[in-house]
Every structure is written in C-alpha cells, then in structure tokens.
Amino acid sequence: MAQPKGTVVLAYSGGLDTSCILMWLKEQGYEVITYLVCLEDISKEFVEEFIWPAVQANALYEDRYLLGTALARPCIARKLVEIAQREGAQYVSHGATGKGNDQVRFELTCYALCPKIKVIAPWRLPEFYQRFPGRRELMDYAKKHGIPVPVTPQTPWSMDENLMHISYEAGILENPKNQAPPGLYMKTCDPATSPNTPDVLEIEFERGVPVKVTNTGDGATRCSALELFVYLNEIAGKHGVGRIDIVENRFVGMKSRGIYETPAGTILYHAHLDIEAFTMDREVRKIKQGLALKFSELVYNGFWHSPECEFLRHCIARSQEAVAGTVRLSVFKGQVYILGRESPQSLYNEELVSMNVQGDYEPADATGFININSLRLKEYHRLQSKVTVKQDE
C-alpha cells in the first residue's frame, strides 16, 4: 500500500467500474468513504427538485432524450459535496469515463458548490486506464480481489439506473446497427406481450407539476410526488412505455449510441405537453419552448448549477403559474394516448371555435386578415419572377 494521501468520497454505484475504483483508490493510499445513493435515499428531492422542473419545461435533448441521467448527476454530486464537507474530505471521486458526459456533469456541480474540492477521475489518469484498457481487465481485477459485480463477458454492456430511467451503452451496443439483445430491458415489458387492456389514468396538474394521479379502472390514487412517480413507473413499465434507442451528440464532441427506458417520464411528458397547450397563451408558449430548448441543453451538458440555468428555471416556473387541470390518457402497448383534458385556466373557448355557432367572431373579418398576410408573399414571388425573367434573357 502507498503512503496515506487523504480522504476521498467516492460516488459508488456497486457496478464494475466503481467497485474496482474503490479497491484501486485504497491501493493508492486514500481513505475511501463510499456514497451509495440508495443507502442515503434522496429520491424525494430528486423528484421534486430535479424531475419536476424538467417536466415543467417539457425538457428533451435533441428531440428524444428525457435527460434521466443528466438530471440525476447534479443531485448525486450535490450530496457527494455535502458528505465531503461533513467528513472533512479533501477529495471526491467518480467512475465516469474520460469520453463521456458524466465526468463533466459531476465535476461542474462539485466545483460550483465547493470551489476548493479536488476531484480524482481515475478514467482520466494514465496509471489507471493503461492498467485497465478494457472491461476484461476490470473483471479480472475484480475476480482477483473477490469483488462481486453484476457484469459478465456474455453481457458486457454498461447500465446506469435511477428512479427516473435506466440507460444502456457500450459492448455490442457500440455498433449502432446492432439491435438491443433480448432480455436487455429491465424497467419495461415488451410492448408486444404487454397487457391487452389499457390503463386509463387521470393526472392532475398545478403550476405545471403533477399533484395527483387516479387510475379510473381500479380507483387507485397517488398524491405525494414520490409515490405518484413510482406508480407511473409501474403502470408505464407494465405496458412497455418509455423505450428509445438513439444516437446522440455528447457534449465532449462525439456521437454515442444509447438505449433508454423512461417510463413515468414519458407519461408525464405527454400529459404536461397537453395541459400546457390547453392553458398557455400562444406567444408565451413560443418563448417558453425556446427557453426549454436551452434548458435541456444546459442540463445535458452539466450546467445545472450555472447562473443561466438557474435563471431559466425561474422563467419556466413563472410560465407555469396557470398550467393547471386534469389530463385523461390511456397507457397501452408502448404508447400514451391522450383522451381528453379539462382546466379552470383553459384558454379554449368552445363557442368561439365552434363551426355551428358564430359567437364573438365575424367571419368576414378573415378576408382582411388573409389579404394583409398574403401581401408579403405576393411581393416575394413578384420579385422572384423578375429575377427569373432576367436570368432567362
């Protein structure tokens, strides 16, 4: 063993990488405090402080990824810093690779919350990654030191799970042409073999946040944030909802293939999108959509604790003040189907929009509206015609 070097708090998942890193850090002379999220449960704050703002934003990275890992990292890193400060540790450590996004997410949060903290990132240290150039070497090391890990040479893909989702990458998944192998998915059933009867749910929102879910079939209700989210995970998982297989752009500059299951998040994305469109002014929503796009990018890239992301969260929360009501939906065979909605804050005027009632609207006024809007188009094409004639001469 090397000379003592100080105390390090390790973000420990129990998987292959961090299990080997734990032993390696001890070999280097560090006193290691492991932080295992499931032992110090932060599920409630994860839902209320991280998932709910993402639901309010309708956050999606590159149109498809619901940010399950990206939202969890600042939550975990925040607790990592708290423990380091409480225990007087000079260092924190993580098992994120030197090619991925998570190293950025962990460390930006740590430095934002504790500028003097020092980070040990083994996968960026030559003495570590040269010793362990592949997963085979890690598994051999684990076997040598009696470390039990849930990875075998037959299933060498990497998994990362939290309350919101589970991700799969690496191994045979690195070839984007390869289909996900049978038995890979752990949070959701195969939609093809899922129940033949849908679950119909009513989800109630206040200020853009779900506050109650009711299953109209059996009358089951959930109201607390954590219980509601866990229940939606259960229902969505049963029906195979929330699977995606994508190639995305990592912040560090490369494309990567990831397979994700986000059951409850998928239901809430569709439900919130619907109630927001029902209750929010058109022009406000256009601006809010732009803010959500930037918010999603910042979260993905690890800037949760940046001043710009804090500003966006405040803006998005302000936009949600009137986003209230109930969405009725069906969960069935891998899909979420919106069935209806109602809200005391609705901007929908049934009489105004009806084809059978004139209401407070004069159809003849539409003629002038169309004429004004067509003026720009007429002028554009008139000028284009002149250019075309000159080019033909």
Report the distance separating Cα 170 and Cα 257, nearest Å: 8
Report the distance separating Cα 291 and Cα 66, nearest Å: 16
Catalytic residue among 19, 73, 274, 296: 73
35's tokens: 């932080």
Dihedral pair phi/psi, residue 329, rounded to 5°: -145, 165
CB 95 within 8 A of CB 24: no
Report the distance separating Cα 383 and Cα 390, nearest Å: 11
Dihedral pair phi/psi, residue 274, rounded to 5°: -70, -45
Catalytic residue among 124, 131, 135, 158: 158
Active site residue 256: no
Dihedral pair phi/psi, residue 363, rounded to 5°: -55, -35
Chain centroid offset of residue 112 CA: 21
Report the distance separating Cα 248 and Cα 63, nearest Å: 10
Report the distance separating Cα 77 and Cα 307, nearest Å: 17
Q: Is 381 helix (H, G, I), strand (E, B) or coil?
A: helix
Catalytic residue among 13, 17, 194, 199: 17
For the chain, what is the total number of helices (H) and then of strands (E)? 13, 13
Q: Closest by alpha carbon to 343, among 199, 198, 202?
A: 202
Strands 30-35, 91-93: pairing kind: unpaired
Active site residue 190: no
Q: Closest by alpha carbon to 194, among 308, 387, 334, 296?
A: 334
CB 357 within 8 A of CB 348: no
Active site residue 218: no
Active site residue 158: yes
Report the distance separating Cα 167 and Cα 18, nearest Å: 17
Q: Closest by alpha carbon to 62, among 310, 249, 337?
A: 249
**Which DSSP helix (H) or strand (E) runs through 329?**
strand 325-332
Catalytic residue among 43, 78, 102, 194: 102
212's tokens: 């109650």
Report the distance separating Cα 70 and Cα 90, nearest Å: 25
Active site residues: 17, 73, 102, 158
